[in-house]
Amino acid sequence: MLPQEAIRTKRDGGALDAAAIRELVAGISDGGLGDAQVGALAMAIYLQGMDAAETVALTEAVRDSGEVLDWAGLDLPGPVLDKHSTGGVGDLVSLVLGPWVAACGGHVPMISGRGLGHTGGTLDKLESIPGYSVSPDTATFRRLVRDVGVAIIGQTGELAPADKRLYAVRDITATVESLPLIVASILGKKLACGLDALVMDVKVGSGAFMPTEDASRELATTIAEVASQAGTPTTALLTDMSQPLAPCAGNALEVREALAVLSGERRDGRLLEVTRALAAEMLLAGGLAPDREAALAKLDARLASGAAAERFARMVAGLGGPADLLEAADRHLPAAPVLREVRAERAGYLRRMDTRALGLSVVELGGGRRAPGDAIDPAVGLADIAALGERVSAGQPLAMIHARSEHDAQRAEHRLREAIEIGEPPAEPPTLIRDVIRREAS
């Protein structure tokens, strides 16, 4: 089918068969389709949507547009597993989960991204570690996945190249918010990693990517169903992002928090609870535990023994970072020169947070990008953030701002005060894990 006829079919509300979709995606990947045609196709999909079969076909075509990793030649003793999050504030789950699952016998080739809008990026966090390379050669990546069990890196040019071009066009044609295109973008890259199973963390709340809980639930369900139909068993968790997941937001600050969890210094909190739940689902999906209770017991034992921390340290050293990061984090991780404590102006309960605004305050401090290519200040951010439902007295600390200048700190304090509502009566903290959606491969 000629590209323009396929675009016309979709524009007019018709369904495209798998062969037509493969031809279109091949044209996106190899340049056979011009930017105008790619933009027209994206707009047609945005306006008309895609049915389930079309979405599966689009996802598989994006997956197959480049290299699909094959781990068979490495004789791995355990399953190849991964997790993906729709992003949030203070969401450093990947830094803890990857080595934790590796310590339990999984192999985690985690292809991660950078910050987008108000959300932090795993690669930006890891690059706050001096020397850490997010772009190793293929041999190093495969060796670490085999020997350490985990490697967290950035997307290579060989994986799902169609997605890179399609996303760039979507970004400038106001077609980002299309469910089929979102699903194909997320899964095309993940499924190209040759996974035995995938776990998704789909956020809900004021800091979530999707605007409503219904939209987040639809995304989670669609991802689980499409991935399973494409051959990869997938579990999706709906988790709360009505407040930062960790009590901090900012790249080096979040690495410090990850080290605190891995070392056992931090033994509770929302971050640990969500990470533990996601990790348990990964062990179950990979056949590394017979049931949830056994999975949680195995995870707790590996964390307490220091095995998870040891995997993180080996990964960091294997990708060029300092070998003694666990023992000497303060020597290696950057620190901001200005600290400002923000105190409550009145007594009451923390009733609401605009989590997106808190994320944007980190961006304004320099911890994120206003435009592609902007340099990031890894030292800045927010720490010791109070939790929803907490009772505070007048003068009690709400957060600590880490800034490059007094001016930046003052601006961040203003945004933070506007983002937090203190009052009466008490507000119940939101449910952290809203639902679990499991789908087997078909």
Contacts of 266 (CB under 8 A, 6+ apart): 257, 260, 272
What pLDDT shows up at residue 115? 74
Catalytic residue, chosen from 170, 217, 256, 314, is 170
What pLDDT shows up at residue 429? 87
Chain position carrying tokens 């987008």: 116
Strands 397-403, 150-154: parallel, antiparallel or unpaired by DSSP?
A: unpaired
CA distance 42 to 47: 9
Catalytic residue, chosen from 29, 59, 94, 185, is 185
What pLDDT shows up at residue 372? 67
Residue 407 among the catalytic residues: no
Residue among 231, 63, 230 nearest 160 (CA): 63
Catalytic residue, chosen from 59, 122, 175, 232, is 122
The hierarchical CATH code for the domain 335-423 is: 3.90.1170.30
Catalytic residue, chosen from 63, 107, 190, 314, is 190
What pLDDT shows up at residue 271? 97
Catalytic residue, chosen from 10, 63, 83, 256, is 83
What pLDDT shows up at residue 409? 98
Residue 170 among the catalytic residues: yes
Residue 164 among the catalytic residues: no
Residue 189 among the catalytic residues: yes
The model's pTM is: 0.94
What pLDDT shows up at residue 177? 84
What pLDDT shows up at residue 174? 87
Residue 125 among the catalytic residues: no
- For the chain, 442 residues long, the average pLDDT of each consecutive 10-residue run is 94 97 96 95 97 97 95 95 93 97 98 79 95 94 97 88 90 88 93 96 91 92 96 96 96 98 94 98 97 98 98 98 96 98 97 95 91 86 97 97 98 96 91 93 75
Residue 190 among the catalytic residues: yes
Catalytic residue, chosen from 10, 29, 65, 82, is 82
Angle at 425 between CA 422 and CA 427, to 5 degrees: 75
DSSP H/E element including 190 = helix 179-191
The domain locations on the chain are 3-49, 72-328+433-439, 335-423
Residue among 257, 263, 206 nearest 402 (CA): 257
Contacts of 374 (CB under 8 A, 6+ apart): none
Question: Could you tell me the CA-to-CA distances from 354 to 240, 296, 360, 411, 424 in Å, in that order?
Answer: 13, 32, 10, 16, 18
Report the CATH architecture of 72-328+433-439. Answer: 3-Layer(aba) Sandwich (3.40)
Residue among 258, 227, 122 nearest 438 (CA): 227
Burial class of residue 138, CB neighbours in 10 A (0-12, 13-18, 19+): exposed
Residue 361 among the catalytic residues: no
